[in-house]
Every structure is written in C-alpha cells, then in structure tokens.
A and B are shown apart, each in its own frame.
Chain A
C-alpha cells in the first residue's frame, strides 16, 4: 500500500514541477496546488496506512487491537497476522534507514506489533494544519493572480516585467 502511494506522491511532484515551470500563471498555480497536495499525501503515507484498525490501543500494548464491530471486518487472527507482518516490514525498513532507527525498531518488540499496525495519528494532525494553511494561501494567490491579470493585462510571467528596471544609464561622471 505504501509503495503504491509513494509512486503516486512521486507522480504528483513530477506533475506539479512540470506545471510550475510553465509561463502561464494559472498553470503555475495549479502546480503549486498539486505540490501542496503531494506534500500532504507524502506525510500521510509516511504515517503508515492501515485499514479497519481502531485507533485505540490497550494500555499494556501487548495484545492486538480489537477489530471494529462491523460485519465485514476480518477475524482477529487475520488482524494479528497483519500486525506481525507490518511489524516485520517496519523493522526491515528501519534497518535499511540506519543503525539508530534500527536500534529503535528492535526496541519495538514483537509485542508492540499492534502499535505498528495502527496508523500514526500525528502526521494526520500535521497535514490537517498544512491543508488549512495551504488552502488559504492558495485562495489568496488565486485572487492575487486574477487582480494581476486585470491590472497587468497578461497571465504570462514572461511579459510581467513591470517591476523590472527600465534600462537607463546614469551619468558616467560627475
């Protein structure tokens, strides 16, 4: 799941960089918007993606989380297997990331595997903040671009040269 999302994030970044390099302001803004979304998706993915696991852990942290009470939920065994698999994957990823992260990951014993089966809620809180901020700034930039289009009569950054200096040479002597 994370792999697929990583590729999607990469595609988002590629599309946004492509759009931001175009001379039309509207495309640049679309690129900026996709850029922001790519970042949010990246942080979301980095916080682990899990399916149908309740976000509440037991106090001891030594048994698998209870499955949600829905008819379609898998059996507790399946959840535990899934949790163990996710734990292994995390330990493996941590080893590749570095010694210290590996040490930390080995500290996460198998009994903590249920913790790794649950998505980390903090990145989700972070992107909630980031979404609000980037949305408001995007709204501002949209209005700004429209005003700039109205007053400068162009949406191409190549012809937005009003703030650039006019070539005039000051006297060479005094």
Chain B
C-alpha cells in the first residue's frame, strides 16, 4: 500500500491532537452528594407532556411495524400518531410558557444518576414546529409515497425520525442528546436510500459516512467532557464548567463546535449536504432540509451558550465568522446551480450561516433572531422542497436549463414557489423578514468587525438569494417549453397535494404578519439560554 502525503499529515495531527486530551482526562472522578437517588412519589401528569411528542411517534412507528402487512393502514397510523404528537406539543408549549421549564426524571432516577428530559421554552417551541412540519409533511407523503413504498416501511422511519429530532430538543442530558442524534441518523439512513435508485446510493454513501463521523466527534467531546466534569446532566455541567479553567475546556469546546458545525453543514464542512439532499424522495429531502441542520444549530446554542456559559464566549466570534462565510458563499453556490433541488439545498446552508451569525453576536437580540430564523427556516425550507417536488411531478423536470412554463399551466404551484422563495430571501410580508431584520438590528447595535460583517452577511445573502430565486422563477416558471426535455415523465400531482402546501403558505404569511407569536417565545427561549437560573433551580429542586 502506497503512503500518501496528503493522508499521512492529517493522520499525524489527529494522533497528536487526540492523544493529549485522553491523557489529561484519565483518572479524574467527581464524587457526588449523598442525596436520594430515586423519586418515590409518582410523576406529575403534566411532566408526561415532555415525552409525549417523543413517545407518540415511537408508538406510531412500532404500530406501523406491527401491522406491516396492512399496507393501507400504514399512513393512517402514522397520521394519527403525528396528530396526537402535535396536539401534545401544543399543550407542552402552553404549560412551559406559563410555568417555565418542565422536567421528567426517566425511570424516576434523579438527575446526577439518571437521565432527565428537560423542556424549556426553546425546546418546547422547536418540538412544536417539528411536530407541525412532521404532520404537514405526512399529508404530502400520503399522496407521494405509493403502495410499494409503504410496504418498505417508509412510515416507520418517518415517525422515528420525528421522534429522534423531538428527543434532541427535549433532553436534559448530554449523552442522551448523542443517543437521539443516532436515533434520527439511523432513521435518516433508512429514508435516504428509500427507493433504491442509483443516484441515491451515491448520495447516501456521502451523507452516511460524513454524518457518522460528525456524530462520532460529538461522542469524543461528550466522553472528554464527562472525563473532567464527572457528570452528563446539562444543569450539572453548567455548574461545574462555570468553575473550571484551562485547556480541557477549550479542547472539548472546539470538538463540540466542530461536530455541530458539521451536522449543521456550516461553510468548510458543508459539502455533504448539496451532494446528498437532492437525491432522495422529495418528502425525505424536505424533512431533512427542514429539520436536521436545525438540530445542529440548536445543539450549538444549547451547548456553547447554555452549558459553557462564559467559557463559550471564546468560540462565539469563530461561530459568527463561519456564519458570515456560510451565509454568503452558500448563496453564491445557489446562484451557480441549475437543478432546483440543489439550489434549494444551498439555500438551506445559507440559512444555517444566518443563524450562526445570530449565535456569534453574543447578545440576547442576536440569539432571539437566530431562534426565530430557525423556526422560519424549518417551515419554509420544508415547503420549498415540497413545492419543487410538485413542480417535478407536474412537468417532469425542475431545472433552469429546461423551461417548463409552470406559471401559465399551473398557477397555484408557481405562486406557492414564489411565496416560499421570497420568504427564504427575507422579503416582507413573509416569515423570513422579521428574523433577518432582528439580526441586522442586533448586528448594528454591536461594535467591532464581526458586528459589521454580520449585518453585511445577512443582507448580502438575502440579496443573492433573491437573485437566485428570481432567476429560477424566470427560467423555470415563466419560460415556455423549448423542447429540451430530459426524458423524465410528468406523473401529475393529485389535488390533495395542494393542501399541505397551502397550509405551510398560510403559516409563512401568518408568521410574517403576526411575528410576535414566535418572537415572544423566542425571546424567552434566548433569555433562558443566556441565564438559565430557573432551569438550574428546577433541576436542583428535583435533586
């Protein structure tokens, strides 16, 4: 076997970099107090709400598996589970908004020993949007996934994916976060190869390997963090890290930033996303685009801001600058694409950059803007992918090199694409306007190069996105057919497919006209991350 220099050098660096923390962390343990280890009184009914949006989809997926021979039942079972999960997420939000963070000790084992599920305002908001998008996406999937698809377990994976994402938003234990990462990663593997076409194999290999590496880096960070804090509970970690100085904090923080940036597809680590997101079924791509990168962003917020507290501030300028580069370069990438799906994939990355700018600003306003943008991005990226799917079904292609004259033939699809596209760009009266406005304001309120670059990055990426969307609109939707078809067959779209898209459009416009329904919880979520006193107190009361 021939040694290659470009492989040897990084390998040596990896050896040195990862040798040091292992040696430093070995053989340190932190003993804990001698309080009770287990709750003896029964769990309050309200606390079950924290796990309902996780457990209900898992039950749904188990039922689809149990009734795998009843193909006609599959979609209905998943539909019922997702409906109940969404309803429970609504109640969860009501409780959390009025009473503060809600905790559940899994198996009644108390925090330092057992895993707790801890939902604060940010977690509850994201769980609700996830369930909502899962529910709406399922109404689309009912029309898109055929009999054969259902028999291969599409709905099983679908419910598990939603459960995994909700679990990531709800957990109060860092190792448990890793486990939820793996839950939705495994489900996403099942979904990305769904259909088994050649192009999917190509995309799935790249998606699978790189995401597995990212998750493994996350595991290294968790292991090392446990090595010197002696706890996995998020509230405990916050306490211990506040009193810890020195090299291990920097090492572990850098590993967390690396892992979550890779998950979120931030600039130098984003290459897996446009290589894979356009290959699976459009429902799958839509769900991935809406949810999976946002889990990376959420984890970045939770770990770097809430867990690391003051120690995290040293990473925030890095996150901010990476965000600026991601926002602008990905928007440029979107301009260079001809395939609409790939164009939308680059817009997902651009949005990730905008959210990272918000995190990097290190102010409550910036963080609020990032949270509002995350909610907007989950809704609108899912919607954009779904409407591209409809266009593909109607015309056979969605490519800038092929004029499809969609506007003249299918006015509703063309109008919906324009709504979602302009919402991504951040134009009023759609949902993207407010978070971008908040981020620009937060940037201009700060001082320094990053604050300026943040404002410029948000505005420039918005401008480039508008150009990319406008170009797609003109070339695909307005241009008459010129006979240069790819040979794909138009399969037509059932009328029922319009329902989920119209519902998403109503949500996008509603968030644009009444932004306070998201801004208010986002503000309280950001405040909860920056100053988690109530959260920590709740955990302490439990102990």
A134 in contact with B216 given A9-B22, A170-B475 (CB within 8 Å): yes
Interface range on chain A: under 10, 10 to 19, 20 to 34, or 35 or more? 35 or more
Question: In the docked arrangement, what's the CA distance between A141 and B23, Å?
Answer: 31
Q: In the complex, are the beta carbons of A90 and B216 less than 8 A apart?
A: no
- A18's nearest neighbour on chain B, judged by CB, is B11
Instruction: Contacts A147-B201, A168-B401 given; indicate if A10 touches B24 (C-beta within 8 A).
Output: no
Known interface pairs A42-B22, A98-B245, A98-B246; A32-B401 also in contact (CB < 8 Å): no
Contact A97 B28 (CB under 8 A): yes
Q: Give CA–CA (A104, B278) in the complex, Å.
A: 51
CB neighbours of A17 from chain B (8 A): 7, 10-11, 14-15
Q: In the complex, what residues of B have CB within 8 A of residue A82's CB?
A: none
In the complex, A50 Cα to B522 Cα: how many Å?
A: 48
Contact (Cβ within 8 A) B220 A39: yes
CB 8 Å contact bits of A1-16 with B (1 = contact, 0 = none):
0110111011101111
**Which residues in A have their C-beta under 8 angstroms from that of B196?**
147
The answer on a CB contact under 8 Å between B228 and A133 is no
CA distance A130 to B226 in the complex (A): 15
Residues in B with CB closer than 8 Å to A162 are 198-199, 201-202
B31–A112 contact, CB under 8 A?
yes
Q: Which residues in A have their C-beta under 8 angstroms from that of B415?
A: none
Closest-by-CB residue of A relative to B476 is: A170
> Taking the complex as formed, is A46 at the interface, i.e. its CB lies under 8 A from any CB of chain B?
yes
In contact, A140 and B189 (Cβ under 8 angstroms): yes
Q: Which residues of B contact A42 (CB under 8 A)?
A: 18, 22, 220, 223-224
A22 to B27, CA, bound (A): 35
- Residues on B with beta carbons closer than 8 Å to the beta carbon of A110: none
Closest to A132 in B: B182
Contact B31 A10 (CB under 8 A): no
A77 in contact (CB, < 8 A): no
B28 touches A10 (CB 8 A): no
Interface assignment of B205: CB less than 8 Å from any CB of chain A: yes
Q: Is B293 an interface residue (CB 8 A)?
A: no
**1/0 per position for B29-62, CB-CB distance to A under 8 A?**
1110000000000000000000000000000000
A69 beta carbon closer than 8 Å to chain B: no
- Whether the Cβ atoms of A46 and B25 lie closer than 8 Å is yes
Closest Cβ–Cβ distance, residue B300 to chain A (whole Å):
21
Kindly state the separation between the CA atoms of A38 and B15 in the bound complex, as whole angstroms: 11
- Say whether B517 faces chain A, with CB atoms less than 8 Å apart: no
Chain B residues within an 8 Å CB radius of A5: 22, 26
Contact assessment for A22 and B479 in the assembled complex, using a CB-CB cutoff below 8 Å: no
Instruction: Assess whether A52 is interfacial by the CB under 8 Å rule.
Output: no
Query: Which B residues lie within 8 Å of A115 (CB)?
Result: 29, 31
Contact residue among A10, A22, A140 (Cβ-Cβ distance under 8 Å from B15):
A10
Whether A126 sits at the interface, judged by CB under 8 Å, is yes
Interface digits, B2-15 against A, CB 8 Å rule (1 contact, 0 not)?
00101110111011
Query: How far, in whole Å, are A38 and B220 apart by their CA atoms in the complex?
Result: 9
B455 — which chain A residues lie within 8 A by C-beta? Answer: none
Contact present for B6 and A141 (CB under 8 Å): no
Q: Are A3 and B245 in contact (CB under 8 A)?
A: no
Residues of the A chain whose Cβ atoms lie less than 8 Å from the Cβ of B408: none
Give the total number of A-B pairs whose CB atoms are below 8 A apart: 224
What is the number of residues of chain B that contact chain A, defined by CB distance less than 8 Å?
Answer: 76
Q: Are A89 and B189 in contact (CB under 8 A)?
A: no
Which stretch from B157-165, B334-342, B347-355, B457-465 is at the chain A interface?
B334-342
Which residues of A are found within 8 Å of B248, using beta-carbon distances? 97-98
Residues facing A in B43-89 (CB within 8 A) are: none
A80-118 CB mask vs B (1 if < 8 Å, else 0) is 000000100110011011111101110110001001100
| A9 touching B27 in the complex, CB below 8 Å, given contacts A140-B186, A141-B208 | no
Q: How far is the CA of A98 from the CA of B276 in the complex (A)?
A: 43
Q: Is the CB of A170 within 8 A of B22?
A: no
Residue of A nearest to B11 (CB): A18
Name the residue of chain A whose CB is nearest to the CB of B19.
A10
Q: How far is the CA of A108 from the CA of B32 in the complex (A)?
A: 10
Whether the Cβ atoms of B28 and A21 lie closer than 8 Å is no
Q: Bound complex: CA of A169 vs CA of B484, how far in Å?
A: 13
Interface membership of B185, Cβ < 8 A: yes
Q: Which of A2, A98, A147 has the most CB of B within 10 A?
A: A98
**Inter-chain contacts of B474 with A (CB < 8 A):** 174
Q: Residue B497 at the A interface, CB < 8 A?
A: no
Tell me the smallest distance from the CB of B137 to a CB of chain A, in Å. Answer: 22
Which residues of B from 216 to 240 have beta carbons under 8 Å from A?
A: 216, 219-220, 222-224, 226-228, 230, 232, 240
A53 to B206, CA, bound (A): 45
Residue contact B275 to A163, C-beta cutoff 8 Å: yes
Given A130-B219, A152-B202, A170-B401, CB of A46 within 8 Å of CB of B213: no
Inter-chain contacts of B189 with A (CB < 8 A) = 137, 140, 144
Taking CB as reference atom, which chain A residue is nearest B200? A163
- With A and B bound together, what is the CA distance between A137 and B213 in angstroms? 11
Q: Hey, which chain A residues are within 8 Å of B24, CB to CB?
A: 93, 96-97
User: Do B245 and A2 touch (CB < 8 A)?
Assistant: no
Given A39-B219, A42-B220, is A116 in contact with B27 using a C-beta cutoff of 8 Å? Answer: yes
Residues on A with C-beta less than 8 A from B28 are: 90, 93-94, 97, 101, 105
Closest to B196 in A: A147
Chain B, residue nearest A122 (CB): B226
User: Would you call B202 and A148 a contact (CB within 8 A)?
Assistant: yes
Contact indicator B19/A9 (Cβ below 8 Å): yes
Assembly CA distance A168 to B474 (angstroms): 17
Give the chain A neighbours of B202 by CB distance below 8 A: 148, 152, 160-163
A-B contact pairs, 14 of them (CB 8 A): A9-B19, A13-B19, A15-B11, A18-B7, A21-B10, A43-B219, A115-B29, A141-B209, A148-B204, A157-B205, A162-B202, A163-B275, A165-B338, A169-B401
A-contacting residues of B (Cβ < 8 Å)? 4, 6-8, 10-12, 14-16, 18-19, 22-31, 175, 178-179, 182, 185-186, 189, 193, 196, 198-199, 201-206, 208-209, 212-213, 216, 219-220, 222-224, 226-228, 230, 232, 240, 243-249, 275-276, 278-279, 337-339, 342, 400-401, 474-475, 478-479
**Further pairs besides A42-B223, A48-B27, A160-B205: 14, Cβ < 8 Å:** A2-B27, A13-B14, A13-B18, A18-B10, A32-B216, A97-B25, A98-B244, A99-B245, A101-B228, A148-B201, A148-B202, A168-B401, A169-B401, A170-B475
